[in-house]
Structure 1
Amino acid sequence: MAEIQAKLQELSDDYQKLQQGKPPNSQSRQKLQAQKTENEGVWKEFENLKDDENIYKLVGPVLLKQDKVEAEGTVKGRLEFIGKELERTEKQIKEVQEKIEKKKGEIIQIQAAAQQAGGVPAPVAAKG
C-alpha cells in the first residue's frame, strides 16, 4: 500500500510541475499575439501610403527617415518571425497539455486500482 501511495505522490508532483509550466507559454503566446496585431496594423498603414510619402522609424528618441521598401521588408520579416514563434509556442502548449492529460490518466488508473484492491489511498490533489 505504501508503494501505491508513493507512486501517487510522485505522479501528483509531476502533474503539478506540468501545470506550473503552462502559464509562461500562455503569456508568451499573448505577447506574440499582441506583437502580431501591432505589426498587422502597421502593414495596413503601408497599404494606404503613396509611394512618395515619407516613413519614419523611431530609434531611441530619434525619428529616422526610412525607405518604404525597406520598412515593408522589415515589417513583413517581423510578421513571418512572429508567425513561426506562435506556431512553436502553440506546439509547446499542446505538448504540455498532452503530458498533463497523460499524468491525470495515470493518477486516475492507480487510484482506481488501489480502490479495487481494497485499500483506498488518500486523494491526491489533481486539478484539471
Structure 2
Amino acid sequence: MASSPALREVQRDIETQANALSKLQKDIAKNHQVRKQYTIQLGENELVLKELELLNENANVYKLIGPVLVKQDLAEANANVRKRIEYISAELKRLEGTLQDLEDKQNSKRDSILKSQQKIQALQAGKAKS
C-alpha cells in the first residue's frame, strides 16, 4: 500500500504535464496560422512589387486608404512595399524561431510524460508482485 501515494503523485504529475503539452500544441497551431497569414501577405506584396517594377517612372499609382484612392508617387509606393516585405520577412523569421522553440518544448514534455508513464508501470508492476 506504500506505493499508492507515489502512484497518485506520478499520475497527478502526468496530468499536469499533459495539460502543459496541450497548451503548447495550441500555441504551435496558433503560430502556424499566423505564419500562414504572413506568408500569404509576403506573396501578395512581392507580386505588387513586381507590378510596380513594370511601370514607367511617370505612371500614376494609387493607394487605397479606406474607401478612397489616393495618388502616390511611384518611388514612394515602391519604397513602402519594400519596407512591408522587409517587415513581413523579419516577422516570419521571428515566428520560425518561436515555432522551433515551442516544438522543442513539446518534444521535451512528451519525453517527460513518457518517463512518468514508465514510472507508473514500474510502480504498478511492483505493487502486483507484492
- Sort the TM-score into its range (normalised by shorter chain): 0.7 to 0.9
- 1:119 deviates by 4.2
- 1:83 deviates by 0.5
- 1:113 deviates by 2.7
Identity %: 36
The unaligned stretches of length 5 or more in structure 1 are 121-128
CA RMSD of superposed structures (Å): 1.5
- 1:17 deviates by 1.4
1:17-73 per-residue CA deviation (whole Å, 9 max, x = no partner) reads: 111212221111011011101100000001211111111111122211111110011
Q: TM-score, normalised by structure 2?
A: 0.85
Which of 36, 41, 44 is the aligned partner of 2:42? 36
Q: Find the counterpart in structure 2 of residue 105 from structure 1.
A: 111
Following TM superposition, the consecutive aligned residue runs of length 4 or more in structure 1 with deviations greater than 6 angstroms are: none
Give the Cα–Cα distance (whole angstroms) in 2 for the partners of residues 60 and 7 of structure 1: 53
Which of 84, 88, 91 is the aligned partner of 1:78? 84
Q: TM-score, normalised by structure 1?
A: 0.87
Give the Cα–Cα distance (whole angstroms) in 2 for the partners of residues 107 and 25 of structure 1: 23
Q: Which has the higher helix share?
A: 2
Give the Cα–Cα distance (whole angstroms) in 2 for the partners of residues 18 and 119 of structure 1: 32
Give the Cα–Cα distance (whole angstroms) in 2 for the partners of residues 4 and 85 of structure 1: 40
The unaligned stretches of length 5 or more in structure 2 are 1-6
